[in-house]
Chain A
Amino acid sequence: MSAASAVRLVAGREVRERGRSKGFWVGTSVWLLGIVAAIVVPAILGHHSQQIFRVGTVGAAPLGLTPSVTADAAALGGTARVRAIGAAAARSALDAQALDLVIEGQTGVLVRGQNTDPSVAGLAHLVARDVAVQARLRATGVPAERVRSTFAAAPVPVRSLIPASPGHQSSRAIVVAGTIILYLGLVTYGGWVTSGVLEEKSSRVVEVILSAARPRELLAGKVIGIGLLGLGQFAAIALAGTTAAIAVGRHLPASTPGAIGLIVVWFLLGYAFYCCAFAAAGAASSRQAEAPVVAGPLTLLILLGYLASLAIQSNPDGVLARITPFIPPLAPMTMPARMLLGHAAPWELPASAAVTLAATYGLVRLAGRAYSGTILRSGSRVPLREALRP
């Protein structure tokens, strides 16, 4: 039997047995529901993008006030519904959130104050100024009809120097979601590797397996099998996310598949980097309760990568963004953000991947040795130094 077929058999068992387990399907469903909900729910809630401002007027509303409120609301991207109301009723309606703002004749504008929507506050300021200016104009003898038509005019457009393109918005959303999935994926699949290795060790089945397969074949098969399952889950999540985004009418730029592909590639690089170390942690443990402690430094490193990625998302060309893609344990989490949001030079991606792969080679060899050295040792936890002894 060749090494390749032994690895294939071990990986096949891993995929079959895990793929059959209830836990796997529950986990996958939670992932899928989570990602779909994260996309669909805001879309449904934010569907009425035309904000409606409910405005009450107390006392005799001056002619021309309603058209100017409507124009102000339009300038803020919404519409105004203006109605006359008594002073006491206006206050209670405002308090009960049945009105957004109340124009108290010419004396002032009343808003709720607490939890006031920023656009309502903006409208209040515009309306307050209009009320004052209109009163002044009328006082200087401008005919009411002219005041009305003047204030009904549409405002001049406000433009951006650096427009926020929908494409950029989408990449940001992909990076935010992708980084979270990368982080959770690495920690989850790493945990599977640790507990899977420990299950083999503590059930003692490993001795039977190792009488037919070499330790490195068993190790390779296990991490490849779990990696394939992880990749499948990852692909399902990406597909569900993209489908949901299209279904709710989100604009997806042409670069979306490339961005998802980049994150998948870095997921694979990250998994390759960490998986054997997670396996060694399982082999060095003796009880399930002990495994998370032994694997603790690894999950901490992944968390650090995630935090670095968050920093890079807010400043994609900063110092962290330039340095961390070349620190192999952090690179899988930080390089996608740097690539998709910052202005990375063309050499940065291949260089970062090369550094990560080189470190992966070293770590896999080291962790493989620790795994082989400890997988058959029962009893207490094996100290790191002893595990690495050739």
Chain B
Amino acid sequence: MSVPLAAERAGGQSHGRPRPGHLELAGLRRRYGRTVALDGLSFTIEPGQIFGFLGPNGAGKTTAMRIVMGIELPDEGAVRWGGRPLTHADRLAFGYMPEQRGLYPKMRVRDHLVYLARLHGLTAGQAGAAGDRWLRRLGIGAQAHERVEALSHGNQQRVQLAAALVHDPQVLVLDEPFSGLDPRGIEDMTGILRELTQGEITVVFSSHQLDLVEDICEQVAIIDRGRVVLAGAVRALKQRGSPTLVLEVEGAGSDWYAGLPTAAVEHTGPGRVRVTFHDADPHLALDQAHAAGAVRRFALEEPSLSQLFLQAVGP
């Protein structure tokens, strides 16, 4: 099994004595007939963080999350929490929002939340109070006694999130929470997740939109074809990756960058060109551009997560 360096580093943290609350996916394998969904997937999530579980569609994210939630069983491997195998009882402290959203369409919103809270072990009194609290917090208190199917799409999404939160879980597992949200919805969701992690909740969410979520999560595991290709703190990953040099120059022709390792050249206006470099000496490039024309923009940009991903999986 060959795991890229970054993944080994991330996994390496858990090989000592795991701190309580660490959620560890260890060597998960799962096949459906001939299709391999998970191919030895391993990574560790530290408590109290927002963890992004990223990768293209079909990479195995949903399968992994379903295994974490006990809805599917792995062919091999295990999920551990605080160093012990995760049990059904442990999972009652987990909240889950599946990729395929779904609630009982005919049930009333508050009744639905109370029911789910009770399934997670809350008493009737606790469940009622928690339902009311989350309805208020998510701004759907007025809809408490309406049927789920009568709500707008956006409010149904809120109920779905409330359904994952109503029992005040310690770990929140969200499968593609941003899909189907408008920019406002994404902002709301991000705000809620940030707020939650203040209170020591661990949030794990999956997304195929790597660049959309890179500002939201502290740690990520990026997977492809059922295995981790990149893992670690977003900051560290970006700093480790080579920065991209961008120069935008006006009235300079094309000779000045001929000898430099260009990644992309883009005409942005009459006589104006934007050139992106990989591994070019910034001083040299700037000097040459300056000599040839008017420099309109000079930037050293950190690589985006999707660029890092593409670099890691190769062409």
Q: Spell out A's residues near B (CB within 8 Å).
A: 1, 6, 9-10, 13, 16-17, 21, 199-200, 203-214, 376, 378
Contacts and interface: CB of A to CB of B under 8 A. Distances in A.
Contacts of A16: 111
B120 A212 contact: yes
B260 to A, nearest CB: 52
A225 to B, nearest CB: 12
B75 to A, nearest CB: 14
B289 to A, nearest CB: 55
A203 B103 contact: yes
B109 interface: no
Most chain B C-beta atoms within 10 Å of own C-beta, residue among A16, A21, A204 = A204
B71 A376 contact: yes
B69 interface: yes
Given A1-B119, A203-B105, A212 B100 contact: no
B115 A207 contact: no
A246 to B, nearest CB: 39
B22 interface: no
B92 interface: yes
Q: Enumerate the 4 nearest inter-chain pairs by beta-carbon distance, A residue then B residue, closest first.
A: A204-B102, A211-B96, A205-B102, A207-B98
B116 interface: yes
A241 B105 CA distance: 36
B96 A208 contact: yes
Contacts of B119: 1, 6, 9-10, 209, 212-213
Nearest to A201: B102
A203 B71 contact: no
B98 A208 contact: yes
A168 B83 CA distance: 71
Contacts of B164: 208
Given A13-B115, A211-B70, A378 B106 contact: no
Interface in B49-102: 66, 69-72, 88-89, 91-92, 94, 96-98, 100-102
Contacts of A17: 104, 106-107, 111
Contacts of A209: 116, 119
Given A9-B118, A207-B98, A212 B92 contact: yes
Given A17-B111, A212-B92, 15 more contacts: A1-B119, A10-B119, A16-B111, A21-B106, A204-B102, A205-B103, A206-B102, A209-B116, A210-B69, A211-B69, A211-B70, A211-B98, A212-B120, A376-B71, A376-B72
Contacts of A21: 106
B205 to A, nearest CB: 15
B155 to A, nearest CB: 16
A116 B121 CA distance: 73
Nearest to B101: A204
A212 B71 CA distance: 9
A208 B116 contact: yes
Given A6-B119, A204-B98, A212 B91 contact: yes
Of B92, B115, B120, the most chain A CB neighbours within 10 A belong to B115
B116 A212 contact: yes
B96 A205 contact: no
B163 interface: yes
A203 B159 CA distance: 14
Contact of B92 (A1, A199, A203, A205): A1
Contacts of B91: 211-212
A205 B159 CA distance: 12
9 contacts: A1-B120, A6-B119, A9-B115, A17-B107, A21-B106, A203-B102, A203-B105, A206-B102, A376-B72
B102 A211 contact: no
A271 to B, nearest CB: 23
Contacts of B121: 1
Nearest to B69: A211
A208 B163 contact: yes
Contacts of B69: 210-211
B145 to A, nearest CB: 13
A212 B100 CA distance: 16
Nearest to A206: B102
Contacts of B100: 204, 207, 378
Contacts of A205: 102-104
A374 to B, nearest CB: 13
Nearest to B97: A208
B117 to A, nearest CB: 9
B71 A211 contact: yes
Q: Which of A13, A214, A378: most chain B CB closer than 10 A?
A: A13
A376 B70 CA distance: 12
Most buried by B among A9, A16, A208, A210: A208
Contact of B103 (A6, A208, A211, A214): A208
A17 B148 CA distance: 13
Contacts of B116: 208-209, 212
B115 A210 contact: no
A211 B94 contact: yes
A69 B101 CA distance: 83
A202 to B, nearest CB: 9
Contacts of A13: 115
Nearest to A213: B119
A209 B98 CA distance: 11
A16 B110 CA distance: 14
A21 B88 CA distance: 33
A10 B97 CA distance: 20
A16 B88 CA distance: 27
Contacts of A204: 98, 100-102
